[in-house]
Every structure is written in C-alpha cells, then in structure tokens.
Amino acid sequence: MEFVLDTLNYFSVLMLVVLGLVVIFGLMNVINMAHGEFILIGAYTVVAVTSAGGSFWLALVIGSLVAGLAGLLVELLVVRHIYTRFIDTILATWGVSLVLKQTVIVIFGPTGQSVQNPLPGVMNVFGVEYPRMRILIIGMAFGLTVVLYLALFSSRLGLKLRAVIANRDMASTLGLNTRRMDMASFSLGAGLAGFAGALMSPMISVDPQLGVGFLIPSFLSILLGGLNSLLGPILGVGAISGSTNLIAGWLSQADTQVIVFLLAILVIRLFPEGILKRRQK
Amino acid sequence: MLEVRNLAAGYPSGGRVLDGLNLSVPAGAIVAVLGRNGMGKTTLMRTICGLLQTSGGTIKLDGEPVSELPPHTRAQLGIGYVPQGREVFESFTVSENLTVGRIAKKGLWPKIPPHLLELFPILAERAQQRAGSLSGGQQQQLAIARALAGEPRLLLLDEPAEGIQPSIVHEIAGKLREIVDTTGLTVLMAEQNFDMVDGTADSIAFIDHGLIAEEGVAADGIRSDKVRLAKYLSL
C-alpha cells in the first residue's frame, strides 16, 4: 500500500510538470528545456514567502503565479522570436534555464533549503500510516490534473486549444488568435510547474538542481508515451514513476535512476514513437 | 464586396507567384477563378485569408483594407476559408469540428444553427463520428459547414470538387447556390472542375501566370467557349 501511495505521490506531481510540457510542445513545437526551472521558481518562492513570515498556503498561490509570470516573460522575450526554429528553441530555453538557475543561486545560495511542513503528522490510509502532507500533495496534484484534462477535453476553451494544436493555420483562419493561445499556454504550463515545485517543497530539500531532477523523468515520460496524444504521456508518467518507486525499494537512489533510464532507453528503442503509437492509425 | 488591387504575394523563400493581380467580387455573387495548376489560384486564396503575407497591393473587404491584418482578425471581419484538401480536424468528431468553426468567432451563440445541419443532413447523422472517418465528399461538406458555422460574409473555396465523385459535386454545388441565394453570402471559388462551376458560378475570372487575365465572363456556356478554354486551361 505504501508503494502505491509513494508512486501516486510521484505520479501526480510529475503529471503536472508533464502536462505543461506536452501542451507547450503540441502547440508551439517547442521543447522547453527551462521547464524544470519553473519548478525551482515555485519552490524557492515558497522558501522566500515563508521565511518572510507568510503562510505556506499563501506561498503556494504566489509561487504558482510567480512561475506563471516568469513563463509569460520567457515566452515574450525569447520563445516567440524563435518558435519556428526547432533546434534553436532547445538551445535558447536551455540558456534560459541556466540563467534562471544561476539567478536562484545568486539570491538563495547553492545549498539546499528547507520549508517547514504546514501539515505535520500522519494519517491512516487503508491500514498504512502515511504523512498527511503527502496525502494532500497527491490529492491536490491529482485533482488539478483531472480538472485540466476535463477542461481540455470538454470545455470550449479546451476545444479551441486542441484545434490550434491539431492545425494551427486552419484554426487561425477560423478566427482563433493563436499567438494569444501560445502565451496563455506557456504561462499556464510554467505556472503548473511552479505549483508542483511549491506544493512539494516541504517534503524535499529545495536546492538549485531540483529542476533537472524533474525535467529528465518528465522528458522520459513523454518519450515513452509519445506526443501524438495527450493520453500517452499519462501512461509514460505512470511507467516512469511506478518503476522508479519499485526499484527504489531495493536499491539506492542513484542505482534506481540508472536502471530506470536504461529501461526507458530500451522501451524507446522498441517503440520509437511512444508506446501508444501502435494503436493509432 | 471584395476588391483586390495590384496584389503581389508569394512564398517566404522569395518566389513571387502573384504580381499585380486585380479582382473584384460583387456582393452576393459566386465568382469562380479558373486556371491551370501553378497559375496562382491557391496562392490567391491563401493571401486573401491571410495565411500568406502580401508583399504589395491591397485587399479590401467592403471598403475596409485587410491586407495587413493577421488571419484570425480577417476571419473575425467575415472571411471564411475552406482550404484545398479540406483540412478538417480529423481526430475531432464532426460536431466538434462545427463547434470550433462557431466558437472561434466572437459574438456568436455557441450552439450550431439547426439550418446548417438541415442543409447538410449527413453531418447531423454522423455528428459523433470522427471527422477522419468520413469520405472525401463528406469531409468537404464538413469543411464548408465548419466555415459557414462562423457566419462569414465572404467564403473562399479552394478546389472544393477536387477528388470528389461527380454526383456529390452536383449536390455540393446545388447547396452552395441555395446558401448564396437565401443568405446573400459572397463566394470566391478556385476551381478546375466544370461540374462545380457550371451549376453555381455567376461569373468567371481566368487566372494566368499570377494575373487575372479576364474577369466578369458569364459562367453560362463556358463549356462551349473553345477559345478561352484553350487559352487558359489548355483544353
């Protein structure tokens, strides 16, 4: 049971990060290497707000907003000028990630920081004593993911967004402002990553490498699941978070990472376009 | 209604396809642009709807210059576009395709108007089917209905008869005529298929090497106009 909960915990947070990446890639064909740094911004905003005396819950909201705003700025200042040049976007967003990470180091220092747990103690879940904060993280991240998927697949705004992803030119000739959609999605994706970082900050050591630690499993999830549908990445995230937690039960964290990456490489070799590809026409 | 003056446009690589094109489309008429492949029909359509930038000249919709506006703004002003190859959203249902066409426009009630579905009963019948599973003729009807769902003033049709069996071409042509007669819609259609032009168009403009060589030619009796057919279509 604890394994299921641990997996769900990782799954739900990773899903928030991946969702932003997938929508940004689907919409703008941009592989956002700076996505991990929005997690960083969210987590460090919590550090800043709580150490200034603010509550964690306020910090959670501010962290998401600051990350969303940072995303909007990155879109306006960098991404919008180059999104027709695929390789350049990888380099440019990687550059942005270095700048953001170094800025965090300059302000907060290179060592890990901790955030006080706003919800200490454990609760009994199906016979297992499990930290209350972790249960909250699962609940909020999972709930938000479900809300986002519902919005994407059953709201009018979601339909417009999917239309732009499906055929950008056609959508614009029908009257959709694709540029505004880009900005909003990039900002929303960054805000989600910021929310993920802020939400889990009390459970981890908040350090400048946090972003990379999430970015790699996120990309692996996407590679595994494929980018052609929005359901693929969910399976990818499930596979990555499940196998990571399963192997972590026996081995050290470093060994786990190595094995998960090797497994992912193997699967990607067998299904180069994602595990869902074979079922599509 | 649509006034195109001295229009120059082409591809970002620099090749100019249209150079000094002039064309007028009167309100409530169906004008067909005929010409051989590669003469600039699709470029003209894509330039009017804004997917290609103009490098010179003007496009006016009811007197209002639109040539500098992005495609979505032109759509909001009333230009509807049905591209060559239809480009329906294949992974969406038929009903979602129509809804996108509707909600993409500001100030329209989101519900798909019933008269649109009465006009294209096959779409009502297959509302929940994936658009990609429709036949070519059905997809063409969907692409037209999707554009009409946004209630345009001017409808641009790029080779609507391409790859569609003759009986369906007649059916679509009849419906177009009916829509124009009942709503006052204006249609500019690029076409090579006489079955489409014959029953629907009011007049014909011949395009040749990026210029409108002749416009306002009556569509009646075009089939027997051996001189023009030989000159502009190599028939």
List chain A domain ranges: 2-207, 211-281
Q: What mean pLDDT do residues B182-188 have?
A: 95
* CB-based burial, B25-51: b 16+ in 10 Å, e otherwise: beeebbbbbbbeeebbbbbbbbbbbbb
Checking ipTM against 0.85, whether it exceeds it is: yes
Residue A278 has pLDDT above 50, yes or no: no
Q: What is the pLDDT of residue A276?
A: 60
Q: What pLDDT is recorded for position A277?
A: 55
pTM for the predicted model, two decimal places: 0.87
The C-alpha atoms of residue A11 and residue A208 are separated, in whole angstroms, by 22
Residues from chain A that touch B89, judged by Cβ atoms under 8 A, are 162-163, 166-167, 170
pLDDT above 70 for A249: yes
Cβ-Cβ contacts under 8 Å for A236 (sequence gap 6 or more): A18, A220, A221, A222, A223, A224, A225, A226, A274, A275
Contact A49, A62 (CB under 8 A): yes
Q: What is the pLDDT of residue A2?
A: 80
Residue-level pLDDT at B132: 95
Q: State the residue for tokens 């786990």.
A: A256
Q: Which positions in chain B touch A178 (Cβ < 8 Å)?
A: 72
Q: What would the mean pLDDT of A199-210 be, rounded to a whole number?
A: 92
Residue of A nearest to B146 (CA): A174
Mean pLDDT over B149-169 rounds to 93
| Residues A30-86 pLDDT 10s | 889 999 999 999 999 999 999 999 999 999 999 999 999 999 999 999 999 988 888
Interface-testing mutation among A174, A178, A229, with chain B (most B C-beta atoms within 10 A) = A174
- Residue B89 is nearest to which of A167, A173, A178, comparing CB atoms? A167
Residue A281 confidence class, pLDDT cut points 50, 70, 90: very low
- pLDDT at B163 (0 to 100): 87
CA–CA dist A186, A223 (Å, integer): 20
pLDDT tens profile B103-133? 999 999 999 999 999 999 999 999 999 999 9
Nearest neighbour of B71 by CB, restricted to A162, A166, A172? A172
H/E stretch holding B84 reads: none
Residue of chain A minimizing CA distance to B97? A163
Please identify, in words, the CATH class of the domain defined by B2-233. Answer: alpha beta
**Residues B72, A160: C-beta atoms closer than 8 Å:** no
The pLDDT value recorded for residue A280 is: 40
> Domain spans of chain B?
2-233
Least confident of A131-145, A263-277, B111-125, B173-187: A263-277
Mean pLDDT calculated for residue range B73-88: 96
Closest residue on chain B to A165 (Cα): B89
CA–CA dist A175, A170 (Å, integer): 9
More confident residue, B78 or B229: B78
CA–CA gap between residue B44 and residue B167 (Å, rounded): 28
pLDDT attached to residue B178: 93
Give residue ranges of A with CB < 8 Å to any B CB: 156, 159-160, 162-163, 166-167, 169-179
Which of A24-28, B54-58, B224-228 is least confident? A24-28
